[in-house]
Amino acid sequence: MNRAEVRSSVDHAVAFANSLIIFGWSYPPQEPQFVTILDGRSNSTRHRVAKFKSFPRPDVRQALALGSSAADEEIGFAAAVDLSALLGLQVFGSDVGISVESNGAAIASGTVSVLMAPIDGDADSSLTSVYLTLAAQLGLLDTRLSELIKTRSGADATRLAISHAIDFAGRSNSGFVVEGWIANARASAFSFLSTDGLVFIPPSEVIYKARADVTEHLRAEKQALLTDDHGVLLSFAHCLTNTDSFLVLRDDARSLTPIARIKVAFSEGRDRLLEFVSHAVGGGKFPRPAQAKKYYLPFFVDAKRAEEFTVNWIKAPKSEARVSIVVPLFREYRFIFSLLTMQKKFSDDYEWLFVSDDPTQHQILTHILERRSYALSCPTALIVNRFNYGYAASNNIGASVARGKTLLFMNSDVWVDSQAAIDRAEKIMGENSFQIVGFRLLYEDGTIQHDGMSFRHSNLMHNLLLVDHPRKGTPPDDDIGSVTEVPAVTGALLMMGKEYFLQVGQFDRAYIKGDFEDADLCLKVRWLGGRIGLYKTNDIYHLERQSIRLMGGESSRLALTYLNCITFNERWSNFILQRQAPGHTPGANVAQLAAQKKVRAV
């Protein structure tokens, strides 16, 4: 390659101690702000740069024959991204595409194999050491950690010189959690490093617990007593799947000294583990948001996979569809029977797109639908996701297949008594009064399940804003046929123009397993100046949480809601409370649209 023709490059990336540090250069030099990573499973994700430093690259300057202008001297960059943001991505063991962005434009890109620095490893050790040393020199990494790797001093540490015990250890989806005790842990201010080098836990991030039993034990053993806080809870949130040990490091101002290497045996049972972690972290309450992300998130983030799906038209479309109904199906396949019964209430200019998001149900759904093809009264497709992608992705996939100008997102546990309300809502959409139209939904006993959503603070969840359903469980009024503007509507039955849906960036996959995406979508639309309407009808039922209740135990569900609530608040609490811009840009498309005002208020 003739480097003189190249004006930028990503050269290397090193994963170590909670960061992925990307090294590269660009000419003219610009500040890296975002990094887009194309992982080993073809997932493309965009991440904010947590820290960056520029530095001179005389080699590049020479190759490019750039001369020696002092202003342009530092064309090299090192950009650090939080490893915790890469949960679920395949960034180790395969080539990774990296594109570095500044002010919305790519400034450097390249494909690299991410370097690692395991305590026992020697592959790439010299190259890794060089870059870790550079990162330390640039202030992106604790110098003491780079020294630790350079000297390999942790490889031989096998025994802790002081009393300790591991009481409980369990694997999450992407790492592991350990609970136990080390004599005088808080007073000793230990740090911890997973032996794959990926997770570093400084004393400030260790969760300590008072352990009176340990104090009694140490007193009986006549050992020194500096504190009652011997208990520790450690989250090694983003390790390699085979990592099962960590170093205990004595932390002083000048160095980190390995004093033990501890190997753990893992227990089974995710719900039990989550209950345990909840109790340990939150003491019976929800842990604070930062801790919750650290300790809960690894349990819920599955391996991210690029969306692959097949479309099987069971009843082929004849002409252009007016409305495309998108129904994700998860776990409970029997909803297909009520959905197909309901289909007969709709005219054939509605098309039905069932998105099977549960590989264990693909076969039975295919079987049922293909054997009921004669019974279908509307164009109907079964979209089969290769993996379980979740609520947001399934709806987005359905929307990508949809041929209708209008999309109607429908949960599988919704029952629509009559097409009339949907037709009316579509007309309202056509009049351009509202960008999203939701519907009043009833429970099976005729009381209100959804009559628009609002937001309220929750004491239980550290004063975060929760989605609220006003009037839930009360009898509905007879104000049918009217439309009112509301802060947000549920995605259980939500109508939106297809073009607009694609413009605003669809449902966001940042939320896990189906929660808050609807509120997020509504707020995106409102942020861009749009309006949300609620159509009042008493003909539509939502048998809420019939599928989500199948997702796991109570601990899992609560933790999941809390995590999604945290993500939602990080983005939208400022906007909701003060009508300010979101705390976190909810996607490049939306940011660009907002800037260009292509989507505007009506």
Is the Cβ–Cβ distance between 413 and 335 less than 8 Å?
yes
The interface mask with another protein, positions 452-491, x = CB under 8 A, is ----------------------------------------
Question: Residue 439 CB, nearest distance to another protein (Å)?
Answer: 17
Q: Which of 64, 187, 303, 368 binds another protein (CB under 8 A)?
A: 368
Question: Residue 469 CB, nearest distance to another protein (Å)?
Answer: 16
User: What is the Cα–Cα distance from 299 to 293, expressed in whole angstroms?
Assistant: 10
CA distances from 338 to 311, 342, 379, 415 (A): 22, 6, 17, 8
DSSP 8-state code for residue 389: -
Q: Per CB under 8 A, does 551 bind another protein?
A: no
Q: Which is nearer to another protein, 318 or 344 (CB)?
A: 344
CA distances from 572 to 104, 410, 461, 519, 569 (A): 22, 24, 16, 10, 5
Q: Per CB under 8 A, does 335 bind another protein?
A: yes
Q: Which is nearer to another protein, 288 or 334 (CB)?
A: 334
Nearest to 307 by CA among 35, 44, 511: 44
Question: Residue 279 CB, nearest distance to another protein (Å)?
Answer: 29
Question: Residue 467 CB, nearest distance to another protein (Å)?
Answer: 20
Q: Which is nearer to another protein, 343 or 406 (CB)?
A: 343
Question: Residue 274 CB, nearest distance to another protein (Å)?
Answer: 24
The interface mask with another protein, positions 154-183, x = CB under 8 A, is ------------------------------
Nearest to 388 by CA among 313, 332, 307: 307
- Choose the binding region for another protein from 136-144, 248-256, 338-346, 555-563 (rule: CB under 8 A): 338-346
Q: Which is nearer to another protein, 266 or 337 (CB)?
A: 337
Among residue numbers 410 through 429, which ones bind another protein (CB under 8 A)? 413, 415
Instruction: Quote the tokens at residue 132.
Output: 């870790």
SS3 per residue for 256-316: EEEEEEEECCCECCHHHHHHHHHHHHHCCCCCCHHHHHHHHHHHHCCCCCCCCEEEEEEEC
Q: Per CB under 8 A, does 374 bind another protein?
A: yes
Q: Per CB under 8 A, does 391 bind another protein?
A: no
Which helix or strand (DSSP H or E) is residue 542 part of?
A: strand 540-542
Q: Which of 489, 544, 564, 593 binds another protein (CB under 8 A)?
A: 544
Q: Which is nearer to another protein, 54 or 538 (CB)?
A: 538
User: What is the Cα–Cα distance from 118 to 194, expressed in whole angstroms?
Assistant: 8
- Choose the binding region for another protein from 123-131, 291-299, 388-396, 537-545 (rule: CB under 8 A): 537-545
Instruction: Quote the tokens at residue 401.
Output: 């297949």
Nearest to 492 by CA among 560, 426, 546: 546
- Choose the binding region for another protein from 42-50, 287-295, 540-548, 560-568 (rule: CB under 8 A): 540-548
21: Cβ contacts below 8 Å, ≥ 6 apart: 13, 14, 15, 78, 79, 80, 131, 135, 140, 141
Instruction: Quote the tokens at residue 169.
Output: 């250890």
Instruction: Quote the tokens at residue 88.
Output: 């679920």
- Choose the binding region for another protein from 62-70, 293-301, 339-347, 392-400 (rule: CB under 8 A): 339-347
Q: Per CB under 8 A, does 334 bind another protein?
A: yes
Question: Residue 347 CB, nearest distance to another protein (Å)?
Answer: 16
Q: Per CB under 8 A, does 439 bind another protein?
A: no
Is the Cβ–Cβ distance between 467 and 458 less than 8 Å?
no
Q: Per CB under 8 A, does 85 bind another protein?
A: no
Question: Residue 548 CB, nearest distance to another protein (Å)?
Answer: 12
Q: Which of 59, 72, 444, 477 binds another protein (CB under 8 A)?
A: 444
- Choose the binding region for another protein from 260-268, 274-282, 283-291, 337-345 (rule: CB under 8 A): 337-345
User: What is the Cα–Cα distance from 40 to 95, expressed in whole angstroms?
Assistant: 6
My answer on whether omega of the bond before 28 falls inside 30° of 0, hence cis, is yes
Q: Which is nearer to another protein, 289 or 514 (CB)?
A: 514
Q: Per CB under 8 A, does 511 bind another protein?
A: no
152: Cβ contacts below 8 Å, ≥ 6 apart: 119
Q: Which residues pair with 55 in a beta bridge?
A: 76
- Choose the binding region for another protein from 161-169, 253-261, 539-547, 552-560 (rule: CB under 8 A): 539-547
Question: Residue 363 CB, nearest distance to another protein (Å)?
Answer: 13
Q: Which is nearer to another protein, 267 or 341 (CB)?
A: 341
Q: Which of 290, 375, 601, 602 binds another protein (CB under 8 A)?
A: 375
Q: Per CB under 8 A, does 366 bind another protein?
A: no
How, if at all, do strands 493-497 and 380-385 pair? unpaired
Q: Which of 300, 346, 541, 562 binds another protein (CB under 8 A)?
A: 541
The interface mask with another protein, positions 264-293, x = CB under 8 A, is ------------------------------
Which helix or strand (DSSP H or E) is residue 568 part of?
A: helix 554-578
Number of residues that bind another protein (CB under 8 A): 25
Q: Per CB under 8 A, does 344 bind another protein?
A: yes
Q: Which is nearer to another protein, 182 or 543 (CB)?
A: 543
- Choose the binding region for another protein from 183-191, 199-207, 398-406, 538-546 (rule: CB under 8 A): 538-546
Instruction: Quote the tokens at residue 469.
Output: 């359903």
Please give the order of strands across the beta sheet that includes 245-251. Answer: 200-201, 190-194, 245-251, 256-263
Nearest to 379 by CA among 348, 341, 422: 348
CA angle 142, 147, 150 (to 5 degrees): 135
Question: Residue 543 CB, nearest distance to another protein (Å)?
Answer: 3
**Residues in the site for another protein, rule: CB under 8 A?**
334-335, 337-338, 340-342, 344-345, 367-368, 371-375, 413, 415, 444-445, 541, 543-544, 546, 549
